[in-house]
A and B are shown apart, each in its own frame.
Chain A
């Protein structure tokens, strides 16, 4: 087995003469109506946006969309589920859940992405193992683009962080787009200000 020292020494010996690190500027942001851009970008990626006046509306929204008897696991206290979700919940136990509910920390107008960490998900697998994902998003928590996202501090503390853009998808067979590849079959963003 290679030792770490031998491994690194080999790389050190091989590496070419030092090249400087370029300065990465901040590019002019597109600006404009962030919410409209987000909605349009998300639609292109197969997600949908709806509006809710209050958190209490979300449960009925879910039932209307997915059926009266669906099972729900919610990572946010704002919405109650049919199954209790805590940090100790075994990820695989969520495999029979129809709908997951989670609040995103922020959204990205450039791409229609929403951001989660283990804090938002409570159980990380929630975002992927359920059939449908409902995402609460405060319209005041939108950033312009990816260059802004990656300058945020959120990545430092998060053990796991995900930028999720629409439902899971694949076009591996003849380029035909399939929604609901391995992960969720649908992703719905609910515009709802955080309390």
Chain B
């Protein structure tokens, strides 16, 4: 299978270690991964600002870079959701449709396509607050949500359970939004911060030492809040934990 790595713009710029962990993790499963070097951004910041037409250029670059792959894997649920649902400013050719349908978030890909459950190289002996982004939960449906009845399930948790030493804590509002929301984090700063602070407090009150998530944007926001609050919380992306990071 032909697999391409999609590295979201802010991970490229601020959290390259998450991109590296993603690449290495996929390679541990024997997957040959291409990284199209002309990629820019999926266009989500444009789309979320309503700039639908103006996003066409970025969408074209994306479709061009990722054409012809069976799977396009990216460590960000919000970006993958955007590609699947909102890459609509360009002509919906067969190639574009295939690109959109082939986009997978890392956890989805590992859980559903690779079927990975064991990570014998990994150990993370900490109390972990697992934060699933709203994109992962409600848009990509990677885990059950409290407002909808049904059999509880969680793909991120299923993966992390294959990591030695993790103890999961139970925050009181496990699937409430943390308040990043893209440009929301700046345009609605008071509410965004309050939400981030509440989220950090909830995890800490539940006993978390680390907050782990598949979405670095959420973590960036929570970490920003936590550091200013002088709260004793550490943050790490799920790719890094699954890839064997010890801290």
Q: Do chains A and B make direct contact within the complex (CB under 8 angstroms)?
A: no
By a beta-carbon cutoff of 8 Å, the part of chain B in contact with chain A is none
- Chain A residues with CB under 8 Å of chain B are none
